[in-house]
Structure 1
Amino acid sequence: MRISIPNITSNGTYTPVLLPVTQTIQRLVDFLGASTGTAVLTGAGVSVASGIRAYRGDHGRYINPNYKPILYQELVDKGEKGAGFRKRYWLRSYLGYPPVRDAMPNTSHTAIAAGMHGSMFKRLITQNVDGLHVKALRPFWDASNVRNHILELHGTLFRVHCQRGHVFDRDEFQGMLSESNPEWKQFADELERTGQKPRTNPDGDVALDGVAYDEFVVPNCRECLVEGRTNSVLKPDVVFFGESIKGWVKDRSFRDVEDCDRLLVIGTTLATYSAFRLVKHAVELNKPVFVLNMGPTRADGLPGIQKVDGLSGSVLSEVVRTILGSDIIRDPALNTLLSSGVTCPPPDDVHDMPKGPG
């Protein structure tokens, strides 16, 4: 099976719609002000200010031209090749997970959370698997309410499951990887001690240089061992290239768009079809759509879409403040959310990680 990795290229013809920040804020206020319930669709660009790199740059191309994601069919293959792919994936993810786990919501996450808490935004659909939207809202909403309002379209890094359906908390599985690979545990501890941060992709994968993966041990599922079988075919609860999203996720994503009167798209090129088709669906239903992204997107040719090039962190908080107005004074949660959020983008470098232990 041949699977193409989606990319957005402007071929040098893309003309950005750049406006002063004040005008971008006003455009968004005008778009959202008349809404009775907006759906928000976010992508990797929203998490950059939390220190997590986006896949694509301002021109829509992969920032790392050598990026070669492992495909779903490779990861779950039961043969020797599949075992090799899982060693590669889980070693890189073992080092890349802690920076994602420890990342904090930035001002875009907290502004969107405030908009949800203040009933500006009715539903949030995110392509991100970093859990930062949930982390921003969780102190103010219970878990059930969060699940009902936030849909993680491509899954989450914070759960792992085996091929037989046993589910683990990722922190528990991280401990299993440490127990099985003490030399790499020592290396990871040294990275943390010295403050070195791996070059981490949005899916928790890191770049490694000159590393042999053969000796990395992927542990067996503990539940399967209790049942009397060995099974090291494990994957994060993330949709890989070549894997379809679950049917209920697809259905709910369409319902979330249908239940709202407009769609706000933030920080995504919409290269993956699971996200792009939601924009197409909104257009087909004659719902207003506004795209805020730096660079070209897959939806740029669709009719009737408003588009402004820009970074969400510089405008969203002010947009929410303007629309919610005095509600912010009456609700301490809104004031807390709109006064918080980190701004710590990743360093602008193109270097791989140093070699591993030994």
Structure 2
Amino acid sequence: MRFTVPDIPRSLISSGQILPSVTVQEAVERVANFLAPGNVTVLTGAGVSVDSGIRAYRGKDGRYMNPNYKPIFYHELMDETEKGSLYRKRYWLRSYLGYPAVRNAFPNTTHYGLSALQYARIVPRLITQNVDGLHHKALSMSSIGPVHMQESILELHGTLHRVRCKHGHVVDRNTFQDRLSEANPKWLSFAREIERIGQEPRTNPDGDVAIEHLGISYSDFVIPECPTCLSENRLNDVHKPDLVFFGESLRAEVKDRSFHDIEKADRVLLMGTTLATYSAFRLLKSAVDNKKPVLMVNVGPSRADGIAGVEKLDIQSGAIMPDVVRNILGTRANQDTVINTMLNSGVVKPPPTDDDDRTPRAAG
């Protein structure tokens, strides 16, 4: 069976569809009018985390910013042969070095704008393809409980912040990072040194980094045994982040809830996503089939282009979201302490403009 990385059809990228230009004020008013009636389900993608310093997969033209992007597939990561062991060493070394940048990232103005709308019950359901946990960080400012948090945000593709062994034992990612550090003192020193000199490898949205261009081998990286499995008298060093890898299926309960969240909505907002993965694209299809009004806020081509019933604004979400919330909530935006704090929070620190690497330094 052949596995491929999801992509936007070449015909959409090459069509050169030109959308009517829209000013920031026009976009604010259009999005605010769309959201104001409430009961909106929002679907977000990698584009909403760019202002937090996390690279998107694709540039403004819809093409991969690293054309040689070669992720590890699920069947490769879980392969228990020697070949699979090498795949896991490659993945976990890259992820070990790349995870701190994701862990330490701060929510941006889009995250806080959406969280304010969640807090105000305008957006009761948010589905995110991102695995960085930044929607949770932003919404936690409202001091909502874990049950409400779980009901408010569905992580369609899982999270980087947990690790699961092949027998189902789950551990917090920081704990797993500590285990990796303990098992790999050489790599701990390397990670500290590149952080000290400010030369951290570039991080992908899924938290891994390309290191081959540094002339580094990952063959000596040690993946620790699962301690719970050891307590059950078995050896097991097969671990994966609690997220969906390419070639892996969504859990049935996640898939069912994603459709439920679309069906329960009166309208659907797509933000910062090209819908390249079918797990996200089929949610758009469900919304359109059920006659839901759909608005997309995204820069560049997407799989939604040309679909009847989808209105698209070609603009960055960070340029409009705080004003969208103020437009909808009026005086409450200033009078409600939680909302006011959210609207005055959020970083705007996108990766450098020359980060679009069409001549990649390394495959990865």
TM-score grouping bracket, smaller chain normalisation:
over 0.9
Structure 1 gaps, min length 5: none
Q: Which residue of 2 aligns with 1:25?
A: 28
Where does 1:173-192 land on structure 2 (aligned, <5 Å)?
173-192=176-195
Deviation at 1:49, TM superposition (A): 0.4
Q: Which residue of 2 aligns with 1:5?
A: 5
Structure 2 distance, partners of 1:190, 1:142, is: 39
Where does 1:243-258 land on structure 2 (aligned, <5 Å)?
243-258=248-263
Deviation sequence 1:91-115 (CA, Å, 0-9, x none): 0000000000000000000000011
Structure 2 distance, partners of 1:5, 1:312, is: 26
Q: Which residue of 1 aligns with 2:69?
A: 67
Deviation at 1:12, TM superposition (A): 4.6
Structure 2 distance, partners of 1:206, 1:16, is: 34
Deviation at 1:11, TM superposition (A): 1.0
Q: Which residue of 1 aligns with 2:52?
A: 50
Query: Is 1:297 the counterpart of 2:302 in the alignment?
Result: yes
Q: Which residue of 1 aligns with 2:169?
A: 166
Deviation sequence 1:8-67 (CA, Å, 0-9, x none): 24115222343111111111122222x231000000000000000000111111100111
User: Aligned with 1:138: secondary structure?
Assistant: helix
Conservation of the 8 A alpha-carbon contact between 1:7 and 1:60: no
User: Aligned with 1:4: secondary structure?
Assistant: coil
Q: Which residue of 2 aligns with 1:145?
A: 148
Q: Which residue of 2 aligns with 1:284?
A: 289
Deviation sequence 1:74-98 (CA, Å, 0-9, x none): 0000101110100000000000000
**Alpha-carbon spacing, 1:331–1:338, altered in 2? closer, same or farther (3 Å):** same
Runs of 4+ in 1 over 4 A off after TM superposition: 351-354
Amino acid at match of 1:5: V
Between 223-232 and 186-195, report the one with greater CA deviation.
186-195
Structure 2 distance, partners of 1:278, 1:301, is: 16
Query: Is 1:226 the counterpart of 2:231 in the alignment?
Result: yes
**Alpha-carbon spacing, 1:227–1:124, altered in 2? closer, same or farther (3 Å):** same
Identical aligned residues as a percent: 56
Deviation at 1:193, TM superposition (A): 2.1
Amino acid at match of 1:115: L
Structure 2 distance, partners of 1:342, 1:353, is: 28
Structure 1 distance, partners of 2:121, 2:204, is: 32
Structure 1 distance, partners of 2:174, 2:324, is: 36
User: Aligned with 1:135: secondary structure?
Assistant: helix
Amino acid at match of 1:217: V
**Alpha-carbon spacing, 1:352–1:206, altered in 2? closer, same or farther (3 Å):** farther
Amino acid at match of 1:22: Q
Q: Which residue of 1 aligns with 2:129?
A: 127
Deviation at 1:352, TM superposition (A): 7.3
Find the partner of 1:116 among 112, 118, 123.
118
Deviation sequence 1:166-211 (CA, Å, 0-9, x none): 0010000000100111000001111222233320000001011222
Structure 2 distance, partners of 1:162, 1:250, is: 22
Deviation at 1:6, TM superposition (A): 1.5
TM-score, normalised on structure 2?
Answer: 0.94
Structure 2 distance, partners of 1:353, 1:202, is: 18
User: Aligned with 2:295: secondary structure?
Assistant: strand
Deviation sequence 1:280-330 (CA, Å, 0-9, x none): 101111110000100111011221111010100000110111001122233
Structure 1 distance, partners of 2:244, 2:319, is: 30
Conservation of the 8 A alpha-carbon contact between 1:130 and 1:203: yes
Conservation of the 8 A alpha-carbon contact between 2:141 and 2:342: no
Amino acid at match of 1:339: N
User: Aligned with 1:196: secondary structure?
Assistant: coil
TM-score, normalised on structure 1?
Answer: 0.96
User: Aligned with 2:186: secondary structure?
Assistant: helix
What is the Cα-based RMSD across aligned positions, in Å?
A: 1.4
**Alpha-carbon spacing, 1:206–1:17, altered in 2? closer, same or farther (3 Å):** farther
Deviation at 1:353, TM superposition (A): 8.3
Conservation of the 8 A alpha-carbon contact between 2:141 and 2:338: no
Q: Which residue of 1 aligns with 2:311?
A: 306
Between 253-262 and 136-145, report the one with greater CA deviation.
136-145
* Count of aligned pairs: 353
